[in-house]
Structure 1
């Protein structure tokens, strides 16, 4: 283990070094289960890093968007709206540390995302459908009005979850697990959970895990009750490149009576 730590410490001095002129495939599979149904969605995109005078460029091509369902929260709707980019290649500019600094054809790319989100508004004469469509349109309008820096950040989320050179640097100085507070989303809404985060240097790379749990208020016919959410995440980082080669997230929601209400498992892999 000491030898592994020494190797990682040496690599931390140039923690972001993506493979150049090679096609990488990022595949994300999400399985959502509740008391009635199990649904599976797959998103796939191809990435290609090239050198630039001030850092790197990465070309991202969406092959499968895996929208799967309409979600009426901004983050979920944005992910679904990426369906408007299917088949397009988005070119992002990165600095030497992997931070996104710019994007080609930003206006056209953002219009495609907004159109993709707007297309998700359901149609139908019944009041429930019209109410849902109004919520979708309101969220789309709010996202469409975001300033340019926010738009770039949202588009950059196509690749930024894979770039984690800071974790290579962190792993170079071993430390014990520590307490964290992390956001979580479930069928009951959003909350923050108390948990534990650990960074470990292993023979096959760097491993970062978070385990958290906590209550969330639920309004039922009998009044307000407390459900429970459990979050488990695991990321594996290649210290040679600073890229996340695998990530896993499991969110489990228990109903107020303690029964399993829903489960969401998301696995992302980066392969050459």
Structure 2
């Protein structure tokens, strides 16, 4: 869910504070964009890579937009079951176009072809269950995803299927203020792991034309999260994001980037 960015009043003692910066929503249309998510996290005692590439394209539709999203490729160098589970969870989506409907404020309000997406996923997952070795990580993951899909409400399925693109829209149609930090409270955790509550401050670290750099430092029970966002005040999209999540002795790092496809 998109976190609200609260307006902070000016401090009277400060003589010349900059005005709040408005972040709009005008994504580029008719252009293929490459959305890459790259994670490094420990698996069986070694740092392992997990990478997913998606092709995105925005299309104007009435007052809002259709966001076309297609998972293009997956990659991982994790040993054994770590890579198997990752591929089992996501490979059924490779080549399956999602047509998300966004309102004029950048909120995802529907998935126009949700029945087709679900049918494609279930077909691929059932095939995986049938051919994978009995009791393997891939088979267990495929069964778990099938059970999850069957048990979710329509709203829950939309949230699940849009989960990886929601961070692109985190700051759409909002304001940020470089006068003071703002408070942030959210949940953080590893993939498929237990999430914990974290909170802290977000600051506007740099403002260069339409390019905004925001940083967050969040703490929770045994958890520390450091976030850095590069946001376009014009398009409203998060063009780059870096996250470092430390849970106890383990650290997960993640980078997300949005670029023109083919460049």
State the TM-score bracket (shorter-chain normalisation).
Answer: 0.7 to 0.9
* 1:43-58 equivalences in 2 (<5 Å): 43-58=52-67
**Which of 67, 79, 94 in structure 2 is aligned with 1:86?**
94
Contact 1:201 / 1:207 at 8 angstroms: preserved in 2? yes
Contact 1:186 / 1:229 at 8 angstroms: preserved in 2? no
Q: Counterparts of 1:131 and 1:95 in 2: how far apart (Å)?
A: 39
TM-score by length of 1: 0.72
Q: Counterparts of 1:236 and 1:117 in 2: how far apart (Å)?
A: 36
Q: Counterparts of 1:131 and 1:238 in 2: how far apart (Å)?
A: 40
- Structure 1: 5+ residue runs without aligned partners? 72-76, 216-227, 255-260
Structure in which a larger fraction of residues adopt helix = 1
Contact 1:252 / 1:264 at 8 angstroms: preserved in 2? yes
**Which of 174, 181, 186 in structure 2 is aligned with 1:182?**
186
CA-to-aligned-CA distance 1:120-141 (integer Å, 9 cap, x gap): 79744xxxx5899668745641
Could you say if the C-alpha distance between residues 270 and 82 of structure 1 is closer, same or farther in structure 2, counting changes exceeding 3 Å? same
1:207 aligns with 2:218: no
1:21, distance to aligned residue in structure 2 (A): 1.0
**Which of 233, 253, 272 in structure 1 is aligned with 2:247?**
253
Contact 2:169 / 2:238 at 8 angstroms: preserved in 1? yes
Could you say if the C-alpha distance between residues 34 and 109 of structure 1 is closer, same or farther in structure 2, counting changes exceeding 3 Å? closer
CA-to-aligned-CA distance 1:74-132 (integer Å, 9 cap, x gap): xxx899633212022222222111122332321120233345566479744xxxx5899
* 1:29-44 equivalences in 2 (<5 Å): 29-33=38-42, 36-44=45-53
**SS of residue matched to 2:95:** coil
TM-score by length of 2: 0.74
1:192 aligns with 2:197: yes
Q: Counterparts of 1:212 and 1:45 in 2: how far apart (Å)?
A: 28
Contact 1:35 / 1:262 at 8 angstroms: preserved in 2? no
1:269 aligns with 2:257: yes
**SS of residue matched to 2:167:** helix
Could you say if the C-alpha distance between residues 4 and 235 of structure 1 is closer, same or farther in structure 2, counting changes exceeding 3 Å? farther
- Structure 2: 5+ residue runs without aligned partners? 1-15
Could you say if the C-alpha distance between residues 270 and 130 of structure 1 is closer, same or farther in structure 2, counting changes exceeding 3 Å? closer
Could you say if the C-alpha distance between residues 68 and 88 of structure 1 is closer, same or farther in structure 2, counting changes exceeding 3 Å? farther
